[in-house]
Amino acid sequence: MTAAMIGIGNFFFKYRNQLFPAMIVALFLLAPPPAHGSSAAEPVMAIAAILLVVAGLGLRATVIGYAYIQRGGLNKRVYAKDLVTEGMFGVCRNPLYVGNMLIYSGVFLFSGNPLAVVLGIGLFAFIYQCIVLAEEEFLENKFGDAYRAYCRDVPRWALRLGRFHSATEGMSFNVRRVIAKDYSTLSATLITLLVIEFYRAALNEGLTRSLPYVAVLAGLLALIGLTTGAISRLKKRGVFSEPKPIH
């Protein structure tokens, strides 16, 4: 079973940038967001969803701001040059993936369709578990006893926040790196939430009756798109590059 999950993990690690968006679209086509007012629990679910998304984005920002590691691998394969154990990686072995799961859970909950919530969270939790197993196999083979000791000391998924101070002691938070490395995640998350809300608003009253609200949503989508493009251009110009050390 573990070997099969590792194979699945390697596959999704390689193709996740293409497959994850397609899977989310497929899930929403299978279980589309219901119209506003279809459930008495809708306001509570929406608030809980936003809190989960904010927590996920905040966790990712904290991870990247203190000790970023390249999660893209090498040639789309699991790879690590060094064993990173400081920053949030001293609190949890996979804090970026925990952040991702919080975001995905919030997005699926925001959709308001119970089927999307159950299928979406369950499917992505399984996939991330497979990816983590694939990464763990690589890291154990490369770093041996050092990695096994790290695994004994730091949990795979739980956040031992009591260790945050000691894990980040002497480190400084790098805002530039957060913007440069994670602006696309923030943009994609906000666009997904707005598209869901756009669909629900149009479904609830029709495009004509909900036109003012839909126009606001469209304006926000355009603003996010323009901001994302501007940050991308600034990044290419090196605005967010970290200063080189002076020797």
Q: Among 138, 157, 172, identify where a domain stops.
A: 172
Q: How far apart are CA 153 and CA 168, in angstroms?
A: 16
Distances (CA, A) of 48 to 100, 116, 156, 218: 16, 16, 25, 24
Domain shared by 144 and 73, yes or no: yes
CATH number of the domain at 139, please.
Answer: 1.20.120.1630
Average pLDDT, the chain: 89
Q: Among 121, 137, 172, identify where a domain stops.
A: 172
Least confidently predicted of 55-59, 73-77, 82-86, 204-208? 73-77
Domain shared by 63 and 117, yes or no: yes
Instruction: Please state, for a pLDDT cut of 90, what percent of the chain lies above it.
Output: 67
Domain shared by 184 and 106, yes or no: no
Domain shared by 26 and 144, yes or no: yes
State how many domains the chain has.
2
Residues 6+ apart with CB under 8 A from 246: none
Domain shared by 46 and 167, yes or no: yes
Domain shared by 55 and 140, yes or no: yes
The answer to whether 48 touches 121, Cβ cutoff 8 Å, is no
Domain shared by 148 and 197, yes or no: no
pLDDT at position 72 is 55
Q: How far apart are CA 200 and CA 112, in angstroms?
A: 10
pLDDT digit string, tens, across residues 138-195: 999 999 999 999 999 999 999 999 988 888 888 889 999 999 999 999 999 999 999 9
pLDDT at 76 > cutoff 60 = no
pLDDT at position 239 is 84
The upper half-sphere exposure of residue 89, i.e. CA atoms within 13 Å in the direction of its Cβ, equals 17
pLDDT at 91 > cutoff 50 = yes
Q: How far apart are CA 64 and CA 115, in angstroms?
A: 33
Reduced to 3 states (helix: H, G, I; strand: E, B; else coil), residue 165 is helix
Domain shared by 129 and 202, yes or no: no
pLDDT at position 247 is 42
Domain shared by 69 and 47, yes or no: yes
Tokens of 246: 């002076």
pTM of the model: 0.91
Domain shared by 97 and 198, yes or no: no
Mean pLDDT, residues 114-130 taken together:
96
Least confidently predicted of 1-5, 81-85, 108-112, 179-183? 81-85
Domain shared by 121 and 223, yes or no: no
Domain shared by 123 and 24, yes or no: yes
pLDDT digit string, tens, across residues 208-247: 667 788 889 999 999 999 999 999 999 998 888 766 544 4
Tokens of 1: 């079973």
pLDDT at position 208 is 62
Q: Among 172, 203, 223, identify where a domain stops.
A: 172
The answer to whether 6 touches 137, Cβ cutoff 8 Å, is yes
Mean pLDDT, residues 17-21 taken together:
93
pLDDT at position 60 is 96
Mean pLDDT, residues 85-97 taken together:
92
pLDDT at position 83 is 84
What domain range is 17 assigned to?
2-172
Residues 6+ apart with CB under 8 A from 102: 52, 53, 55, 56, 59
